[in-house]
Amino acid sequence: MPLHPDRYFDPNPTVRDLSRRLYQGVAGLPLVCPHGHVDPKLLADDEPFPDPAALIVVPDHYIFRMLYSRGVSLESLGIPRRDGAPVETNMRKVWQLFADHFYLFRGTPTACWLTHELEDVFGVTQPLDGRSAQAIYDQMLACLERPEFRPRALFERFRIEVLCTTDAATDTLEHHKKIRESGWSGLVLPTFRPDAVVNLENPDWRSEIARLSEVSGITVTSFSRYIQAIEARRVYFKEMGATATDHAFPSPYAAPLSSAEVNGIFDRALAGQTREDDARRFNGHMILELARMSVEDGLVMQIHPGSYRNHNRHIFETFGADKGCDIPTATEYTRNLLPLLNRFGNNPRLRLVLFTLDESTYSRELAPLAGHYPALRLGPPWWFFDSIEGMLRFRRSVTETAGIYNTAGFNDDTRAFCSIPARHDLCRRVDAAWLADLVSRHILDLDDAEAMIADLALNLARETYRL
């Protein structure tokens, strides 16, 4: 269906008119993107996108996950196998298969985003289905060949004020360097994500440590050298413009270890002799070390906990990570974070942004914590909850306890570059709809709501991430 100007607004005329008014105040604001997964190489090289399927289907686990759940094989969608065995390479066929199954996305944010992206970026206004698939493919392909559809041109057209990427601790940030040195004015900043050198369960941990030694110039032979190497990388990331770090701990568990304990665990890990529970205990110690570093260097610390990664072993072994088979688990914050918050929670130099995949913690733990500790902010509804109902549940569960000023504004958190405007637009519309509802019930007055929509759309993200 073509994009309706009042989409996502309540149909009650009073609320709809308020929603419109609030939305129009922020619809044209630039996009601040403090957390996401766009590959910086895209903007460094500025090459044309190859084709619609390679742009939209192959890299997006939100999409192929759903098709897989209804029996479509990942091979037939062109997802590369680890063993190099053949998969579909005819991108027209991949696109057709996607379009044939697009009805599966009815009522999902993926459908909302894609509809917006097709119309707004590519001028496609007819609904995507099996019949329209090839014509839409042709129309998009013709666009992609034009210079104004190159990544940097789109970045500018999207009015992106700043785009933060997510980068391994061992990354040389060569693409970021290339962007800087190109003279192009787009602001693309790295984010320090050291999971691969922190998580002892990572099968490549030792080779990652070797790489850490190499890029930091500090040979990691002990825990203290390891900490020095991490700190050196943070200095480098800051020089390259980073304002934040990101951490995907399985849980927000924090518990300090004695020097002897942490050295022992680290030495065992270096020797390839990690014991049961070492990884969990090491995480509990490292979350505190990383928070200490953030206090010292001012990098905003993000924690994205609670995902059971690669739940489907067959898919992981055949296709690798990030293939739509990470499944959330119940997550506990109140007791787990106690040692961290008692050490640093009152310190205004720490800015800790918490995310969750367990909505039952919004009102029970996260809002009470954020409504008290100066160091805390709540990240926007994450992953499965980056959606219309998900955003409404978040605001309705969190605001009465923590207000909006202990929340971090919006993150698009996406690797799908062309979906960025759709995601921000959806969030701005949902925020407008939420505020309009509060105004219509006389819980807020309109002046307050107008200030709040601007804060939600832009100011909170800028301020939270020290951008």
* % helix, strand, coil for the chain, step of 5: 50, 5, 40
What is the distance between the alpha carbons of residues 281 and 303, in angstroms, rounded to a whole number? 17
21 and 378 Cβ atoms separated by less than 8 Å: no
What is the distance between the alpha carbons of residues 383 and 113, in angstroms, rounded to a whole number? 14
Which residues contact residue 361 at a Cβ distance below 8 angstroms, ignoring those fewer than 6 apart? 331, 332, 333
Q: 143, 440, 450, 454: which one contacts its own copies (CB under 8 A)?
A: 440
Stretch that binds its own copies, among 9-17, 238-246, 259-267, 272-280 (CB under 8 A): 9-17
Annotate 172-202 with DSSP letters as a single string. --HHHHHHHHTT----EE--EE-HHHH-TT-
Which is nearer to its own copies, 369 or 457 (by Cβ)?
A: 369
Q: Of 373-392, which residues contact its own copies (CB under 8 A)?
A: 373-374, 376, 384-385, 387-390
Which is nearer to its own copies, 240 or 392 (by Cβ)?
A: 392
Which is nearer to its own copies, 190 or 328 (by Cβ)?
A: 328
Among the listed residues 118, 65, 133, the one whose alpha carbon sits nearest the alpha carbon of residue 312: 65
Q: Least distance to its own copies from the beta carbon of 459, Å?
A: 12
Q: 248, 369, 418, 453: which one contacts its own copies (CB under 8 A)?
A: 369
Q: 44, 293, 315, 458: which one contacts its own copies (CB under 8 A)?
A: 315
Applying CB under 8 A, the site for its own copies has a residue count of: 91
Among the listed residues 41, 44, 74, the one whose alpha carbon sits nearest the alpha carbon of residue 57: 74
Q: Of 404-423, which residues contact its own copies (CB under 8 A)?
A: 404-406
Residue 402 makes contact with its own copies by CB under 8 A = yes
Residue 81 makes contact with its own copies by CB under 8 A = no
427 and 458 Cβ atoms separated by less than 8 Å: no
Residue 445 makes contact with its own copies by CB under 8 A = yes
Which is nearer to its own copies, 233 or 424 (by Cβ)?
A: 424
Residue 292 burial by Cβ neighbours in a 10 Å radius (0-12, 13-18, 19+): middle
Residue 276 makes contact with its own copies by CB under 8 A = no
Q: Of 225-244, which residues contact its own copies (CB under 8 A)?
A: none
Which is nearer to its own copies, 11 or 86 (by Cβ)?
A: 11
List the helix and strand counts (H, then E) for the chain: 22, 11
Residue 8 makes contact with its own copies by CB under 8 A = yes
Task: Indicate the Cα dihedral angle 279, 280, 282, 287, nearest 10°.
Answer: 130
Q: 109, 151, 284, 305: which one contacts its own copies (CB under 8 A)?
A: 109
Q: 371, 450, 454, 462: which one contacts its own copies (CB under 8 A)?
A: 371
Q: Least distance to its own copies from the beta carbon of 221, Å?
A: 36
Stretch that binds its own copies, among 138-146, 244-252, 296-304, 318-326 (CB under 8 A): 318-326
Q: 30, 50, 82, 103: which one contacts its own copies (CB under 8 A)?
A: 103
Residue 107 makes contact with its own copies by CB under 8 A = yes
Q: Least distance to its own copies from the beta carbon of 92, Å?
A: 24
Q: Least distance to its own copies from the beta carbon of 384, Å?
A: 5
74 and 64 Cβ atoms separated by less than 8 Å: yes
Q: Of 152-211, which residues contact its own copies (CB under 8 A)?
A: none
Q: Least distance to its own copies from the beta carbon of 202, Å?
A: 19
Residue 261 burial by Cβ neighbours in a 10 Å radius (0-12, 13-18, 19+): middle
Q: Of 37-76, which residues contact its own copies (CB under 8 A)?
A: 65-66, 68-71
* Diameter of the chain measured on Cα atoms: 67
Which residue type is seen at 453? Answer: I
Q: Of 292-311, which residues contact its own copies (CB under 8 A)?
A: 308, 311
Q: How far is CA 413 from CA 38, 84, 143, 211, 457, in A?
A: 9, 29, 25, 27, 15
Stretch that binds its own copies, among 7-15, 164-172, 213-221, 249-257 (CB under 8 A): 7-15
Q: 174, 338, 349, 466: which one contacts its own copies (CB under 8 A)?
A: 338
Which is nearer to its own copies, 48 or 59 (by Cβ)?
A: 59
Residue 409 burial by Cβ neighbours in a 10 Å radius (0-12, 13-18, 19+): buried
Task: Indicate the Cα dihedral angle 32, 38, 187, 291, nearest 10°.
Answer: 70
Among the listed residues 209, 206, 254, the one whose alpha carbon sits nearest the alpha carbon of residue 233: 209
Q: 4, 89, 239, 276: which one contacts its own copies (CB under 8 A)?
A: 4
Q: 328, 379, 380, 409: which one contacts its own copies (CB under 8 A)?
A: 328
Q: Least distance to its own copies from the beta carbon of 278, Å?
A: 20
Residue 456 makes contact with its own copies by CB under 8 A = no
Q: How far is CA 381 from CA 23, 70, 326, 358, 425, in A?
A: 20, 26, 17, 10, 15
What is the distance between the alpha carbons of residues 437 and 431, in angstroms, rounded to a whole number? 10
Q: 357, 408, 416, 418: which one contacts its own copies (CB under 8 A)?
A: 357
Regarding beta strands 376-378 and 160-164, do their DSSP bridges make them parallel or antiparallel, or are they unpaired?
unpaired
